[in-house]
A and B are shown apart, each in its own frame.
Chain A
Amino acid sequence: MRKLGVLLVGLSLLLFLFVPLTQAQIQYEVGKVTYESHSDYTRVSIEVTPGTGYVVKDLHYPPRLLVNLYPASLTSLSKEIKVGDRFVESIRLDQGSKGVVRVVLDLNLSNATSSVDLSSDPSRLLIEIRGPEEDLVAAILKEKDSPIIREEEFPSTAPPPKKEKTIYTIVLDPGHGGKDPGAIGRSTGLKEKEVTLQVAKEVARLLRNEAGIRVYLTRDSDEYLSLDRRTEIANQLEADMFISIHANSGYRRNAKGVETFFNSRYSYGEGAEEVAARENKPLGSENVPDEAKLIIWDLIQNAYRSESNDLAHTVQKELVQTTDGEDKDRGVKSAGFYVLRGAAMPAILVEIGFLSNASEETMLKKEDFREKIALGIVKGIKRYYQGKL
């Protein structure tokens, strides 16, 4: 009887003691880190305990890839592996907050693309770093006569220093494309992605005859491009102007006309001066927190706001005049456009007419009307840059 009691007590005690112990028993550890350098990519493999999750973030200035592993712990305090190949400079691991291991890949290319995947047997995280999405840039550059972009790295600080320009670079961005048709006309089913491409190509054709202007399209066929990629291309080309061309749609069937947008003040710009001053560190310095970098980046873009405003007004005015659309002048507006946000140059978005309006849709289907619109945009662009050269 007594033995049974002692046994019971012992058992229950053991049970209680083990509840927290068993929970703490699974140790999520980060094991061996290896890498393979190939000519067209670098693969980094990190052994992890099965069940470990991860979050990936691209960091810029300088280019890095941050992978947070959770739950995970490092057996050592921190670890740094020197790679020094074409894509990766080094791999750094350290224990972030409790249960989080930060893996930072210092990249040698600011426009590298990456893929991160968990692989089992053995359980490991595979990170692959490749060159830029060359097919897209190649698509822009495949036009004859256009010079090859310099292979050097893009500037690690934004924006590029103003230099004496003899050539004015314009990036035209036909809205939507591929799987994203944009707005669709209600009477004939005209797709926004088609009209925008036709108009952008016409603008490019007209501008190519101009001396001192170099013009690029973000896409020259019916292909899908992310919004980020569009401004990224403009930044890589160090463009002087980014013009996104769109066709409008509204809830009202009688909504009509052309309008031009530029971006509203970026949210990070609010009070950003103080933060930038508090950090008091140059851009690109390793110790600037990411949040501060975002703020500084937004500040730089806010600096282009008045130029974008000027450009928007000039283009809108010429567009309205060329298309005899005084009654269709919807004016210049500012709003928070995703596609304009990443641009480190004056950037505007032109809405060339409403696909939700049957008569405008019919007009946009006609080649001579599209040519008029293109001519209006070209006149606006020329008037704007002539004041700048």
Chain B
Amino acid sequence: MPQKRKKSLKKKRRSFIFIAVIAGAVFLAGLFLSPYLWRRGQEIKEWLIKPPLLEETRVVKLYFSVSKEDYLFPQERKITSSSEVTSQAKAILGELINGPISSSLLVPTIPPKIQVRAVYVKDKCIYVDFSSALQEKHPGGSSGELLTVYSIVNSLIDNLPSHSEVQILIEGKPANTLAGHIDIRKPLSMNLDLVKVSPAG
């Protein structure tokens, strides 16, 4: 009997150590994994809590070329997008590429069917990544190039005043120029010298 008791005690102690060791291992594993799990937890939490982005409609000013002179003139347009700067910027550029609405006073400044690959925002700068077609299909010429560059820059900055600069990227990379003239290696600010107050003037 005592022998048996001793044995069962030993057995109990063994299983206790076993459980303790497993618990220890789980604890250590948890300790190692905790930063990762915590991060994942935060991600899931963010994902669950974040409200769905609401689409809103607003009126924006798009800068197109005046048909009688080489200046830019704003045309108002409604866009629908979420309130995020990047999605507003994408909507603005989409409309800019579509060109002016039935107006004999204005002409487009971007070759048709150009694709905006992505829009990024960092600090005060909006980075717009175009497909290389913007370079390939550009008609060239300093005047045409100036209008293309600043219709993009002006249309974005005028409507998104939280940002002050735009850098045009081609296929995800900074570019020297669109057609050999205007330096686009660095972010550009709005250019009001090219803007006309009246489209006919």
Give residues in A with beta carbon < 8 Å to B.
1-2, 5-6, 8-9, 12-13, 16, 19, 175-176, 180, 182-184, 192, 227, 246-252, 254-255, 259, 261, 267, 330, 333, 335-339, 341, 349, 351, 354-356
Interface residue from B68, B140, B181, B193 paired with A338 (Cβ < 8 Å): B181
B183: Cβ under 8 A from any A Cβ: yes
Which residues from chain A contact B186 at a C-beta distance below 8 Å? 267
Which residues from chain B contact A335 at a C-beta distance below 8 Å? 142, 146, 182
Interface residue from A13, A176, A252, A333 paired with B180 (Cβ < 8 Å): A176
Task: Kindly supply a per-residue 1/0 record for chain B positions 5-19, scoring 1 wherever the CB is within 8 Å of any chain A CB and 0 otherwise.
Answer: 000000000100110
Which residues from chain B contact A246 at a C-beta distance below 8 Å? 141-142, 181
Can you show 29 pairs from A to B with CB atoms below 8 A apart?
A2-B17, A5-B22, A9-B22, A12-B25, A12-B29, A13-B28, A16-B32, A175-B180, A176-B180, A182-B140, A182-B180, A183-B144, A246-B181, A248-B141, A248-B144, A250-B70, A251-B107, A255-B70, A255-B143, A259-B142, A261-B142, A267-B186, A330-B70, A335-B142, A335-B182, A336-B183, A338-B180, A338-B185, A355-B141
Question: CB distance B182 to A338 under 8 Å?
Answer: yes
Q: Which 8 A-B pairs have the closest CB atoms?
A: A249-B141, A183-B140, A338-B183, A9-B25, A248-B141, A16-B32, A250-B143, A336-B183
Question: CB distance B142 to A356 under 8 Å?
Answer: no
B188: Cβ under 8 A from any A Cβ: yes
Which residues from chain A contact B146 at a C-beta distance below 8 Å? 335
Distance in angstroms between the alpha carbons of A57 and B68 in the assembled complex: 45
Question: CB distance B141 to A354 under 8 Å?
Answer: yes
B65: Cβ under 8 A from any A Cβ: yes
Which residues from chain A contact B183 at a C-beta distance below 8 Å? 336-338, 341
With A227-B176, A336-B183, A336-B188 given, is the CB distance from A252 to B107 under 8 Å?
Answer: yes
List residues 179-201 of chain B with CB under 8 A from any CB of chain A.
179-183, 185-186, 188, 193
Distance in angstroms between the alpha carbons of A180 and B142 in the assembled complex: 15
With A2-B18, A180-B180 given, is the CB distance from A356 to B144 under 8 Å?
Answer: yes
Distance in angstroms between the alpha carbons of A183 and B22 in the assembled complex: 76
Question: CB distance A251 to B109 under 8 Å?
Answer: yes
Question: Smallest CB–CB gap between A67 and chain B, Å?
Answer: 20
B74: Cβ under 8 A from any A Cβ: no
Question: Smallest CB–CB gap between A219 and chain B, Å?
Answer: 14
Which residues from chain A contact B143 at a C-beta distance below 8 Å? 248-250, 255, 259, 351, 354
List residues 152-194 of chain B with CB under 8 A from any CB of chain A.
176-177, 179-183, 185-186, 188, 193
Q: Knowing that A5-B18, A5-B21, A252-B70 are A-B contacts, what are 7 other residue pairs whose CB atoms are under 8 Å apart, sorted by A's residue number?
A: A19-B32, A246-B142, A251-B109, A251-B144, A336-B183, A337-B183, A351-B143
Interface residue from B18, B142, B185 paired with A248 (Cβ < 8 Å): B142
Question: Smallest CB–CB gap between A372 and chain B, Å?
Answer: 21
Question: CB distance A183 to B182 under 8 Å?
Answer: no
Question: CB distance B139 to A249 under 8 Å?
Answer: yes
Distance in angstroms between the alpha carbons of A333 and B70 in the assembled complex: 12
Question: Looking at A2, A9, A251, A338, which has the most chain B CB atoms within 10 Å of its CB?
Answer: A251
Distance in angstroms between the alpha carbons of A2 and B18 in the assembled complex: 6
B67: Cβ under 8 A from any A Cβ: yes
With A182-B180, A335-B182, A338-B177 given, is the CB distance from A250 to B147 under 8 Å?
Answer: yes
For A9, the closest partner residue in chain B by CB is B25
Question: CB distance B147 to A251 under 8 Å?
Answer: yes
Which residues from chain A contact B28 at a C-beta distance below 8 Å? 12-13, 16
Question: CB distance A192 to B140 under 8 Å?
Answer: yes
For B65, the closest partner residue in chain A by CB is A251
Question: CB distance B139 to A227 under 8 Å?
Answer: no
Distance in angstroms between the alpha carbons of A5 and B65 in the assembled complex: 77
Which residues from chain B contact A351 at a C-beta distance below 8 Å? 141-143
For B107, the closest partner residue in chain A by CB is A251
For B139, the closest partner residue in chain A by CB is A249
With A2-B17, A5-B18, A9-B24 given, is the CB distance from A183 to B141 under 8 Å?
Answer: yes
Which residues from chain B contact A250 at a C-beta distance below 8 Å? 65, 70, 139, 141, 143-144, 147
Task: Kindly supply a per-residue 1/0 record for chain B positions 102-136, scoring 1 wherever the CB is within 8 Å of any chain A CB and 0 otherwise.
Answer: 00000111000000000000000000000000000
Distance in angstroms between the alpha carbons of A254 and B22 in the assembled complex: 84
Which residues from chain A contact B182 at a C-beta distance below 8 Å? 335-338
Distance in angstroms between the alpha carbons of A176 and B186 in the assembled complex: 22
Which residues from chain A contact B108 at a C-beta distance below 8 Å? 251
Interface residue from A13, A267, A356 paired with B25 (Cβ < 8 Å): A13
Question: Looking at B29, B142, B146, B182, which has the most chain A CB atoms within 10 Å of its CB?
Answer: B142
Which residues from chain B contact A355 at a C-beta distance below 8 Å? 141
For A263, the closest partner residue in chain B by CB is B183
Question: CB distance A227 to B177 under 8 Å?
Answer: yes
Distance in angstroms between the alpha carbons of A261 and B180 in the assembled complex: 14
Question: Looking at A176, A192, A250, which has the most chain B CB atoms within 10 Å of its CB?
Answer: A250
